[in-house]
Amino acid sequence: MAELTPLQRSTLALIKRPAEPQVFSTELIAELRETMTEALAHFADRAGGRELFVTKHNLGAVHGCETNFMSPDDFAWSPASARGQVSHKAIQLMLTWRGEPTPIELVDSALARLADEEKSLGNYIAALTAADEADLRGQAADRVTKFMECFPPLDWRSRPVTESAVQFPMAGPILMRARVDLMIGRPEGDEARKLIIDFKSGRVSPRHREDLRFYALIETLRSEVPPRSLATLYLDSGQPHVEQVTEGVLRAALQRTLDGVNRMVQLQVEEHTPGVSPGPPCRWCSLLETCAAGTAYVRGDDWDGDE
């Protein structure tokens, strides 16, 4: 096996399982499941049977700015928006690839497989111009290269899986869903051993921590054994930000999720007037030109809330 790089050694030290076994009380798990089940039943009654899907994305959106959350979805694929999906697929292939593939080989194989899927991303990839395909290949290969440089080789005995989907509850009008970039380990009895990792490029954001806490909550509700740790791997810097899962982390994630679902029901079903919450995302918001609060924030002016 090749010698680890300094970045790989640093990452390994941060994500390594602690020597002291971590076990959560069965009473805590039962309380979390009971609280969530009762709350979802209450929200379902208020929603009148309307289906709601709760993900990290819409939770982050409704906790960010309600007006933006309720605006029409104008998402469109581009090389920048597709690079994450392509690089994740490439990393998934890398875990089971025989030999030592190059990042561009992995990316090309990922593109070919995604293009065959009857989804919006597959249709986008299949119709790429030569220039956009080259742009996407380059951006995705950059992310895969950075992952290989900063993450130690994975041993299959640690049960690594990518793009792992988790859901709670099994059925119902309100479902919470998560798709984890990388999950390592498995529980042993009641001992928490799983490590959940999210890949990010760009700068650190508090929302990334909240996304991982939501993953931890769903995994806990689903399997009744929490993960041991959460890590956001920032590919540009090559450094993971690691948080140990505790009772406080799970309770905070539960409260944030319930608050978010309550807001979704209020806005999408009960037709409450959405509020405006200016902040850094205003710079990329499609509503900026018509939003006095967002415009004032971007300019650095004071906003008196009289809009």
Q: Of 150, 170, 188, which closes a domain? A: 150
Q: Of 87, 115, 150, which closes a domain? A: 150
Summary mean pLDDT of the chain: 91
Out of 33-42, 85-94, 177-186, 200-209, the most confident range is 33-42
Q: Supply the range of the domain harboring residue 21.
A: 6-63+157-268
Average pLDDT over residues 232-259: 94
Percent of the chain surpassing pLDDT 70: 97
Pair (144, 161) in one structural domain: no
Are the C-beta atoms of 202 and 237 separated by less than 8 Å? no
Pair (260, 182) in one structural domain: yes
Q: How much is the pLDDT for 216?
A: 97
pLDDT higher than 70, residue 164: yes
**To which residue do tokens 């929302």 refer?**
207
Pair (140, 178) in one structural domain: no
The total number of structural domains in the chain stands at 2
Average pLDDT over residues 285-304: 79
**Please, which pLDDT band fits residue 301 given cuts at 50, 70 and 90?**
low
The answer to whether position 217 is within a domain reads: yes
Pair (110, 178) in one structural domain: no
Q: Which two tokens stand for residue 270?
A: 């009960």
The answer to whether position 278 is within a domain reads: no
Average pLDDT over residues 218-233: 96
Q: How much is the pLDDT for 118?
A: 80
pLDDT higher than 70, residue 304: no
Q: Of 150, 176, 209, which closes a domain? A: 150
